[in-house]
Structure 1
Amino acid sequence: MASLPKYGLKYQVMMAFSSVNMDFYRTIPIIGEKQFAFNFKALPIFFSLLKEINNTGLFVGIEYLYLKNEVTPKFDFITLPDFLDEKSLKTNLSSPGIVLEFDNRDNIFTPDNGFLINATYHFNADWTGSDYNFGNLELSAQYYHQFIPELVSGLRWASEFQFNESPFYVEPSINLRGVPKMRYQGRSTHLIEIEQRFDFTKRWSLVGFGGLAKTVKENESFVDSELVYNYGTGFRYLIARKFKIRMGIDVAWSNNDFGYYIIFGSSWNNRK
């Protein structure tokens, strides 16, 4: 990733190969919630190019994600579960997207003040080279404010909506610390999270955070959907004063889970 201030441009390019084990959860009649384990062999290629409009902090641009996935169930079965079909076990997704973003944060790594607001729409279709036809709309906002020199408060909101049918592994899911990545999936997700950072020395900081979220499944109302929460704490160490980069560890709890995280910069970086 890089910025070209002379031209008002910023871009990201990524390519990788991964073999990842991941659990997914579904509610089965009579049995209740059941865990399903999978291995994903994935080849993701990602590109993003944003152009700033007249030094206003407002960016417009394009994104593209190509994802080749081979999915292997790691559980015994006679027939595939209802949420799974043969087509989704070996897929190609080709997702162009458009982006609108406002960013006036004072630092891209560990902000003390400013806004980051993003709206992104990705679509998949036959003509893009995708095996599925669906769209995803992601809306998010982050706000940071330094009330006193030692205290920085952050507020994060995010919602994601999906249109038409997609592979099970790209359905919107709740993205909160302490919540397993794919445990709560549905047609849309909504969350809000706060974070407080107290700098008790020039280099050392304490962090506390908490949030609420909901996943709305198909044919379910927002009111009836399950409420998911998280809370936790952590510390940061200023490893590069020139760039204001802080790094540390967070521990977090949610409804039924616990997790720990190594944090570089803001814990909300790359969390739309």
Structure 2
Amino acid sequence: MSEFEYLRNVTVGQYIPTESIVHRLDPRTKLLAALFVALAATSTRSVLATLLLVALLMGVTRLARIEVRYVLRGLLPAAPFIVVLMLMQLLFQGRFSVCETVYWEWGFVRITPCLIELVILGALRLVIFLFLVSLLTLTTTASHIMHGIETLLAPLQRIGLPVHEFALANIIALRFIPTIAEEMERIAKAQASRGGDFGGEPWWRPDRMARARLPLIVPLFVNTLRRAEELIVAMEARCYLGRKGRTKFVDLHFTGLDWVVIALSILLWVVLWRTPWPTFT
């Protein structure tokens, strides 16, 4: 019943302990490196440079001793949304294109080389962002990510930002993603045992896929809210009071390798930002 394997295609929130050099990096290093790679992806308007970023992320994945196919499989749930966004850009952004060459025009639809490059670039950026989040959670435990976020944002406490609560909320959201996928898989199998049909819709018809999965949405939200309430009760039972009076079991330290990785990520951002990369238009 492969159509019910939602958890199998979810990589965000999972952790694979391979004891690689990427795993041994400080979580703050990986957070900063991910930030600068995301800035590099948004700073360039070249498809070639963006493809080089994708190849770099695949290389880092292999360095982390994780199968690239496993990470790419995590992009499958987002594929219908990426296709819809690409179609929306093709239909409604053509009239704002400044290219003189027009491949096809009909009404408000105007297909130009600049538009095609923009659509490809937008899809690649989404792939990079999803790849970054998956790779970060696959190589770093949730507690280390929380401590890294809290330490990086610690200066903002002076202006009243609840940094600890902010980091905790982000980690709970990431950690709940595979839990929600598992819950949805369980609900889908229960509905199918009662005669429901959730498989067989083609991936290029996201409207039909969404309509077929509507019976899953209500019980999924109810169970998710129930799990959130159970989490709140468990935290209150353990006298959780937020940042006040709390100590840390994890003590983070930068090494020479961490500084090298941060410097290389900054250099990558500057190079992709300032280099006049060739375009296809």
Greater strand share, structure number: 1
* TM-score normalised by length of structure 1: 0.20
Q: Which of 1 and 2 has greater Rg?
A: 2
Greater helix share, structure number: 2
Asked which structure has the greater RCO (Cα within 8 Å, sep 6+), the reply is 2
